[in-house]
Copies of this chain bind each other. A is one copy, B any other.
Amino acid sequence: MNSLNNTKPSLHTVLTPQLLDLYEIKDSIVVIIDVFRATSTIATALYNGASKVIPVDTAELCIEVGKQTGGVTVGERDGKIIPGLSYGNSPSEYPRSFIENKTLVITTTNGTKLLHMALKQGAKNIITGSFPNLSKVVEFLKSQNAPVILGCSGWKNKFNIEDVLFAGAVIEEVKAHFEILCDSSFMANQLYLQQKDHLTEYIKTVTHWNRLAAFGLEADMLYCISRDTAPSLPLFKEGALVNQA
């Protein structure tokens, strides 16, 4: 966009991967959001010095790419490490002392799928977003002057509140810079404004909290709604997420 053109770029929020095809993805920046817990873990591992994170669709591919790259294989189903992989999907498993200069190969149910869909539909740039790296995401979006898609990973294609809350937090910071004509974005922003001063209590009411709390993951989830604790910018380049912060 040149300096004579004052039109602001658009911003849309996609509530679940099943709605992605309704939006203009080509030439947009897509922010993949999977608050519980994939994108929070990715932000944390990269902030703590991981050299890159390779997202893959299946456990089989995770094992294979792990072998090829010498990377750490990561994935859970129902709160347990997937047989054949080495680590789980908790940000707490990736302190600097462990992950620095290592490659992570991660498979997740929802976020990875959405990332590959966005890639296939010709996204200009793909980054991942979560409360631990919120400010870096905001900074990047404000600097690019390009259309933005906030892509919520949800749960098996259904709508998840925690992802939309994060979208609302991003919108609150960037809305002066974009043209927003999108009910999903209005709703996300309103929900965030309504709940932001008591997020810790509020988050305990959502379905995903209850699903993961049954596996003892409360501390993980509280970390995942903490702002700017892992200020990295995971940008997808040549098959992997690398820290551009």
Interface residues of A (CB under 8 A from B): 15-16, 18-19, 22, 156-161, 164, 181-184, 186-187, 190-191, 194, 205-208, 210
Q: Check B187 against A158 for contact (C-beta < 8 Å).
A: no
Q: Which of B19, B159, B186 interacts with A187 by CB under 8 Å?
A: B159
Chain B min CB distance to A126 (Å): 22
Contact B190 A194 (CB under 8 A): yes
Bound CA span A19–B156, Å: 11
Report 10 cross-chain contacts, Cβ distance below 8 Å, ordered by A residue: A15-B15, A15-B159, A18-B18, A18-B19, A22-B157, A22-B158, A164-B187, A187-B191, A190-B191, A191-B191
Chain B residue nearest in CB terms to A165: B187
A19 and chain B: residue at smallest CB distance: B18
Q: Max chain B CB contacts within 10 Å: which of A159, A194, A205?
A: A159
Question: With the chains together, A187 CA to B22 CA distance in Å?
Answer: 22
